[in-house]
Structure 1
């Protein structure tokens, strides 16, 4: 109940016992008008025994509202959280119980948000935190009109209940279930009940009788149960997706609850949990610990978080004549494999024909050969993949020729301890001494080599700096042409209070908040921290790119400092952060009209760079993180450290790859000349993120929605653009369609098909008509 699980798990057949809202003890009554605060007293309302409490608890850097078991003197075991999908609230928030039976959260801006809403709209006489762990609202007749047991999340206490484990965000919970009680024909008059002895029992809601035979007791293998005064049982869907039963015994010495003890779990093998490993990966045990490994032809989405799944490590080749180009692919096989999902093709055939059929099929990503002649084919991504030793299936995976068969059996990737003296006769002291002497000599040699290398690197850097200062002189730019203020290093150090408040960090250094004119003018100071040559290139690129430019949709460069080897750039301060913060991190998203206006602002800024400057400028790194919002919520393009300047009569240039993955135009990878159309592609990706208020790549959503561009095009073709809008927001359908069409034109693979930024501005403003865009060829990747 406490927090969102890494693997979302749901419990079906929800209901609660009628005795859950029993009459409270008078001393625990909470009157309407009462308040709770995160840091000051009172921060919670306890139950009569003090074993449960309702109120604010610490969650990350903020606070959440919930119910917890008081374990020991200062430990909390969270058993219920209100609106647990919402982000944490600030420390100066206030929680109020109103007379209308609503718990209202008031944030630091004075805005109200309902934590608990009384759907009956009945008068509330008081509330109470009960010793059962149930928080209840009562009317003047002492009747419960709302209770937390009716809204369980991931924990069942000894008076509330429900059933069935399956991953969240699946279209059909029953077909994706990986554990269940197996009593599917009981009907809606039965529900799950955790009794006072720790047994999970199916109960008849009509007669109130517990069906405590082996057929209707779930955890019958849990032995030694029995009622014990002061013991509290709780059943929890843990963060790994397993359903477990815990007990908290009472400490006879001080009356406090002891830490929890595991009594029973639904699944013994964690790899049996669907969704434990992400798409295109499978679960296997190593030293009794679950590991997620990539299937052949794929690589981890994030090497540091292997549970997120895997993506292809090769590029798809376009089908020719309805058949796959078999010269660019080959099949890799693994034994004892199974996976979930419904195959799109099933046939009886030979094993060799099963593999060949998948290789030639453009839609096939993997095939499973079962028995001696049964073949099923599946499109990627694969879900719920597991390796079972008792299975005799053969799985075939289509991989690019460049990947070979290096991942045929990824259990080989698990590190195996190696004896450094393997092969040496350990009984021979002479051999051991020789090994130690050689090892010591090698270590000394390495240390000497590092010392010499460090000395020469230092000398080279010093000489490089001297050469740069001699050659550059005045940075190659006349101050009178730039009209920029020259600051001293100490002046900017004082302005930023010793570079204390960091606003953000980029590839070449960090940006700090500062103030000039005795705090009257706020500034942002970018301090370059890379090697001399790289830092100098970044410094000069940014100076040349925006030193002479001035546009309301470009962040303005105010000055610089070039003292000794220190390089700093001074910008106007953007008080409302980046577009990335608004779209991906904020509690609320900008309204539709605001998002359209932001898109036009960014388009106008790019139009100025591409067509209205003396020399055209390719920004090369357009993304939400580089679009900042000023105090009036105007969008401005920033971070020109990777920008490329063209000659006045030049339209294209050769340069190495610059920018951020996910926003790069295809031509960056083809070693072809780069034009301003590379920025148009990046803008198209940003435009899609503006429409949907999510990142271009998101592995936390359904498989068909992971790649934003692919999902948007499918919705566009099927005339279901309303699915793209978060939370069912009311938007202008014509405006939405125009935004999507402009974005799809911008992300075309061929630069010639992409519109100019002037055309983009006119299309976004509704001045010119927009034709139907074709499908970008990268959509199938």
Structure 2
């Protein structure tokens, strides 16, 4: 009897302690969205009344989150549950049960905000802004919002190495935005654009761990000090907190704002009647330093005191969610077609002018760089169909293909240059183009050639001009009629073939391929069939996806849409797709000359080393584009000669890129185990380490050695065992200066210096340590002879 009394007394004391800790939410308590017709309350409120947990307006519905109330009734959202889920309907409720927080629509459970194996007993919205759930037995916390931050940490909250802050799309849409902040392996806190490689070239802010000590968390205390671990190193020491009047209180929050800048805010409450918000600190004073603040093919300018995004000359806004040319995250596209560009380059000098912007810089690697005069750089870009823009810096001309990323005008920095943009002749530059104001980008149009042509034309006879005018009208009319005919023919396909991705029906592809009868190849993800489609019988290649993850149609469309955004002469172009139930197919352009594997290993065709070097450079430029120049960094994960196709001009085009994330996890692992024996996969696959873009560099190195030697990486029918593995044999021949053993004696015109250069680059690429492998940009520069090649380290055998 006495023991029972003691047990009851213990339970009563636990209950009193719970009440002292603001536990005011018990099992089966329900809340609903505001303005709902139900009898439930719309939020759970902390005892101070400053924080609330519940439903808030989001899009066409509601979201579940925590917000800080201002004295004027405003709400500052500091945490959101499942932020990327669709908006919640108005007839939903949130109920605390022993199974956790259940989201219901009527009597049906739609989801769970909190799930844990330990039954829940009660919950509380604390005055710190932390929403906690307690165990059914005892007062231990089984879940808390402080352990799952979104874009904000509050006073008393930590950002640990296991989580990160991710910005929101906007102040009204708390879904995942464009930037994130997380700890690196070197214990630095670093900010990146969300769709970047998360490596140093994409970082735009770092905490710079000056003391080189191990760091585990970033803490914001209730006095507004933002420090690492035990205040050993601080980003902000808030000395103003000690000078506050007694009738005031402050709540601090550190937020990765919509623009990607980390800021510390103070909410100052005076007698609980009003509040003021003050920005105490921000990571970057110039928003233009934030990579991803402006989208592709646009640049950021802060010369007027306010950061704004603008399209480059010859570009117009392309993203639909922006309403003006100065909008944040502005993305741009060309305002003219490049179809008229001629590969000869001679007429391009007449077709295009150059517009320049001063004091510019952007990220990325040029595909061509050479010292020359600015006038020569101007001409070189005009006559090059691949040149989307050039940057002239310190006497060097660097040419870039589109898209351009992280562009900004930086008038006070030394590494800026003159940006040159190719626009059609007669293109009119509107806006601030004067050279008198240093606050506006200077637009300089080189019309000297056009002036000479006009002067020469006026010296001709009137009769010649009349004849020329009549002939030009005639040919213009014929050209327009021809283009209209082609456009009409393509409209029968239901899409513009060069510009968009088409959704095919399965029956259409069955008819186009004659029932999938002509198989032209089989890759890691399924068989490929040849077919024709449209009234002009355009040839296509249809891949039936066999070993892909069982994901939904939405996810599959998102992946292939990302693949379709890649446009490069050395990548096979994706034309469309088909999704009908479990049947998923991809439609590509047809590449007529088969794979590189057939060209190297199965044909007897003489292939000079110069031609093989061109093929190696084609493949390298395609891989570089996937790694560094497209919107989202793509790791191929399956680069080998069978996935490199050759067109009628023997231009190499990479296929099967971007498909790695669509494959089933067990298939990816089995494929890695199988293909380790063939030697194309990097050692980190077999060791189950983190795979980066350097894995593609290893695969490229094996392909390059096969191109040089025209033999497979593993050959069993060889005179000696040391020749079985190509990479080891190649290094042996290089180290012993016996390069003639790697090639056929039929090649009497062999350029041994070029062969040695290609061999050294290949051996650098196949190093076991990823840090020793060069980037694809340096691979291209070394193959072209623009960069010295170090002696390759010894390979492990």
TM-score between the two structures when normalised by the length of structure 2 = 0.49
Q: Which has the higher contact order (CA 8 A, sep 6+)?
A: 1
TM-score using structure 1 length: 0.50
